[in-house]
Chains A and B, each alone.
Chain A
Amino acid sequence: MKYFKDNDTLTFIESKCIGCTLCTDVCPHGVFEMRGKKAYLVKEKSCMECGACEKNCPAGAIKVKSGVGCAAAIITGLLRGTEPTCDCSSSSGKCC
């Protein structure tokens, strides 16, 4: 299944990559693939902006504006004038 995203949220700077393969381990959508000693963006459009690759890349080669793709969180954020917030404190049964 495919969804859409802004094109500039995920960026990968190949020259910084040290080939540790972590991004290919963590990405749940197979966005990265190892080609030789470097990672390679193969399925950029499938990125769901979870942020796992950026968080784990030891070389700082990946940047992604991460967050939850949840309409309720975004609408709550809009109403409160904050970033999307997923109100899943233990008392409320919202989202995840």
Chain B
Amino acid sequence: MNFRPIQKNTNLIVKNQQSTCCNQNLNSAPWISGFINSKYGMIPVVKTDLDREDYKGHIRSRISSYRDNFTINPGLYAVGNPDSSSHIFVTANYKMSFDLLRKSLKKINGWILVLNTGGINVWCAAGKGTFSTEELIKQIKSTHLKDIAPSGKIILPQLGAPGINIVAARKATGFNILYGPVKAQDIPEFLQCNYKANSSMRRVTFSIKERAILIPIELFMIKKKFLAIALIILIYGGLTLEGIIFNKIPETSLPLLIALVISIISGAIITPLLLPYIPFRSFALKGAISGLSLLYLADYIFGIFTKTNPFLKIAIIILGTLFSSYTALQFTGSTPFTSLSGVKKEVRFTLPIYISAIVISIVLLIINKAIQWSLI
């Protein structure tokens, strides 16, 4: 029903391509194709094709803290040539969420209502309570939606449901509000099927592609820890009774550094990629298994630890496995299926093991130094 050809607008709204809007920022945004002049002000019309700049932003926010500022202004936007009965699609003011929505609205005339979630995506914002019933009501009121599209149906993203009480929102606003599909790309089909979402549209997935795309940000977040640990390793390697001696560093530090890199590859790349195929449900165990296997393989094939002192070697294996396990455990924050009580269980179970493993490793590392210094 939303696929009608572009038609004359209601008299409330006049399409106006040469905008006189004072908002410089909006005016210059390349994803805006024009403005609709309503009696409440200019409503930007957005493009449904993403361009290179948009994708560049997506890539940058996938690999760095750029995503913290990848936001757009909350409020009302338009796609196509909407009127007073067009659908209203709701999203968060994280530009990636907004882009994925507008990209899915090709050939659709509708409104986009952007909630202020502090630049966080719909799912996380709903969990945190910023994508909320109150914010939805507030934006509906402040954009005068009841005047602009009084008979439009409001389509919420399903993943916003943890933050929204739809019955309360319907009551407070008088709008017909529905939950659309999980993925914006299914919206056209959802509309075509008369607002019925089949079960696959209602489910979150976590395919290898969806997991792979999260790896860069995992690596980015681990960068600081990596540098701090690497520094400790270098200091430890060079430590002698006479102070830190640089040419002593490689002998001890190199195998430790290699193990550190292997454990990050294992915990932040291999474990997420092979997630369903690594045995056990526990992420910490999955990470430990993949870390241990990778360390073993590296030693077996390249013999990297053959020359190291057995005390150091055991410490390396324990610490490498531990760090891979810990890194994999962090990935629970990025999945769409781990539960709070499950992760709590896991943390409660693994923290004591991590602490004991660290204590044992420190003892081994001290013994290793003592041998190096010929104290024992």
Contacts and interface: CB of A to CB of B under 8 A. Distances in A.
Say what secondary structure dominates the interface of chain B.
Answer: helix
A56 interface: yes
7 A-B pairs closest in CB distance:
A70-B333, A96-B124, A69-B338, A52-B161, A67-B340, A26-B161, A6-B341
A55 interface: yes
Interface stretch (B136-144, B255-263, B275-283): B275-283
A57 to B, nearest CB: 9
Interface stretch (B288-296, B300-308, B310-318, B342-350): B342-350
Contact of B121 (A25, A30, A96): A96
Contact of A88 (B128, B182, B217, B275): B128
B43 to A, nearest CB: 26
Given A9-B341, A95-B334, A30 B68 contact: no
Contacts of B276: 1
Contact of A4 (B158, B197, B202, B342): B342
Contacts of B188: none
B345 A69 contact: no
Given A5-B342, A30-B199, A69-B343, A55 B161 contact: yes
Question: Chain B contact residues (Cβ within 8 angstroms of A): what range?
Answer: 35 or more
A73 B333 contact: yes
Interface residues of A, number: 48
B8 interface: no
A67 B333 CA distance: 11
B333 A68 contact: yes
B330 to A, nearest CB: 6
Interface string B188-232: 000000000101001110100000000001001100000000000
B127 A50 contact: yes
B127 A68 contact: yes
Contacts of B162: 50-52, 55, 66
B336 interface: yes
